[in-house]
Amino acid sequence: MDIKTWLVFVSIAVALSIGGYALSTHWASPSTLNGKIQAYPDSHNTGKAYDAMSKQNAASKTLRQLVSPIPTQPNIDKEKAKIGWLLFKDPNLSSSGGVSCESCHDLRSNGAETTEVSVGVNGQGSRNSLTVFNVGFNYRFFWDGRANSLADQLDGPVHNVLEMDTNWSEITRYVRSSKRYPNMFGHVDLDINERNIKAVLVEFMLGLTTPSSPFDQYLLGNQSALNERQKRGWESFQHEGCINCHRGVNIGGGMVMRFGYFGENKIGENRTNDTGKHSSTQNTKDMYLFRVASLRNVAETAPYFHDGKTHSLREAIQIMAESQLGKTFDQQTTDDIYAFLTTLSGKRPSILEEFSNDSNR
């Protein structure tokens, strides 16, 4: 561990012992970032995915790395997850019968979609779809971090008139009356109700992990998993300060921070006037607070940022440098960090292959 990493590490420990105050409620300037880094919040949403991660961490020499690899196998109940998989792909969950979760979270590609903003049952939307891959390693949900657990998060798309425009009693009625689900729920000893429908959807999403990216192999000790440029990019990512916000298993997904510390003019051309967490709380101190995005598979999840207005990853890196760090990167630093970010792409979630093979049999 070099001295900088160590300092960041110590400040987290200090923040923790003070009581882990929520950075989301502070306007911190980047110079005070280290002192105010929000220790991973105490929400327990991530359940098994997190347990698997802790086990893996405990096994490694450094107990608390700033960035840790994705466990090679998800620790889930596959029978439950498989019901979740079917529900995820089922358009009958929406009011129009035409929109499934998969309409906006494409499981064949990256768990998200390639349009700038999502289109739901009424053909309009305001934010870019987030990928459901590795979602179990996030600590806050949605672009503005407004939900603290995956199960709570589900109320979002289901109730949103722009997305599925329905409610849990409609969904429960449909699942109970369908031909295929009652048997499957019976098989895993679950009654069909809102809680259990959410539970199987969550179980499925916890299984959507993309392990064994080149960077994870590197973290696990394989020096040749990254080339020289990619290693330089990882160095820059740390010493330029990206890691102050993008950290944890998902290299993000844990804190809520202001988008545009160095002024809104630095956050890129033509940004929409989305005010982030403020738009759900109406609290002025929440203006422009957004969840630090996860950078897992980021090279495959264009377009970027909450409004999907940035199409190039290099441009996203430059915007981050200017808006979050007050720096202008030269071409080499941008290219190096870009090269590093491409090493965060892992294997497609193995359960997807497994489930489709089972049903083709």
Token digits of residue 275: 């005010």
Q: How far is the CB of 89 from ligand HEC (least distance, A)?
A: 10
| Backbone phi and psi for residue 183, each to the nearest 5 degrees, phi listed first | -60, -45
Among 12, 76, 81, 321, binds ligand HEC (CB under 6 A): 321
Q: Do 23 and 256 meet the contact criterion of CB atoms below 8 Å apart?
A: yes
Per CB under 6 A, 339 contacts ligand HEC? no
Which window, 173-181, 222-230, 244-252, 343-351, contacts ligand HEC (CB under 6 A)?
A: 244-252
Interface with ligand HEC, residue 241, by CB under 6 A: yes
Q: What is the smallest separation between the CB atom of 361 and ligand HEC, expressed in angstroms? A: 26
Query: Of 16, 53, 68, 57, which Cα lies nearest the Cα of 38?
Result: 16
Among 317, 339, 344, 351, binds ligand HEC (CB under 6 A): 317
User: Is 163 among the catalytic positions?
Assistant: yes
Residues in the chain: 361
| Residue 82 touching ligand HEC (CB under 6 A) | no
Of the candidate residues 52, 99, 200, 339, the single one contacting ligand HEC (CB under 6 A):
99
Within 13 Å, how many C-alpha atoms sit on residue 3's CB side? 0
Q: Does 201 help bind ligand HEC (rule: CB under 6 A)?
A: yes
| 301 contacts ligand HEC (rule: CB under 6 A) | yes
What single-letter amino acid sits at 74?
Answer: P
Out of 74, 111, 120, 346, the only residue in the binding site for ligand HEC (CB under 6 A) is 120
Span interacting with ligand HEC, options 14-22, 38-46, 209-217, 297-305, rule CB under 6 A: 297-305
- Shorter beta-carbon distance to ligand HEC: residue 60 or 164: 164
164 to 52, 105, 150: CA distances (angstroms): 32, 13, 17
Q: Which residue's CB is nearer to ligand HEC, number 46 or number 324?
A: 324
Candidates 44-52, 70-78, 98-106, 221-229; binding stretch for ligand HEC (CB under 6 A) = 98-106
- The residue type of 197 is I
Could you identify the residue written with the tokens 């988008």? Answer: 259
The answer to the question of residue 242 lying near ligand HEC (CB under 6 A) is yes
Exactly one of 79, 102, 113, 163 is catalytic; name it. Answer: 163
- Pick between residue 60 and residue 155 the one whose CB is nearest to ligand HEC: 155
By CB under 6 A, which span of 11-19, 51-59, 208-216, 235-243 interacts with ligand HEC? 235-243
Using CB under 6 A, which of 290, 296, 322, 355 touches ligand HEC? 290
CA distance 167 to 116: 26
Binding site for ligand HEC (CB under 6 A): 88, 99, 101, 103-105, 118, 120, 125, 127, 129-130, 132, 135, 138, 141-143, 150, 153-154, 157-158, 163-164, 201, 205, 240-242, 244-246, 257, 259, 290, 292-293, 295, 298, 301, 304-306, 316-317, 320-321, 324-325, 337
| Residues assigned a catalytic role | 163
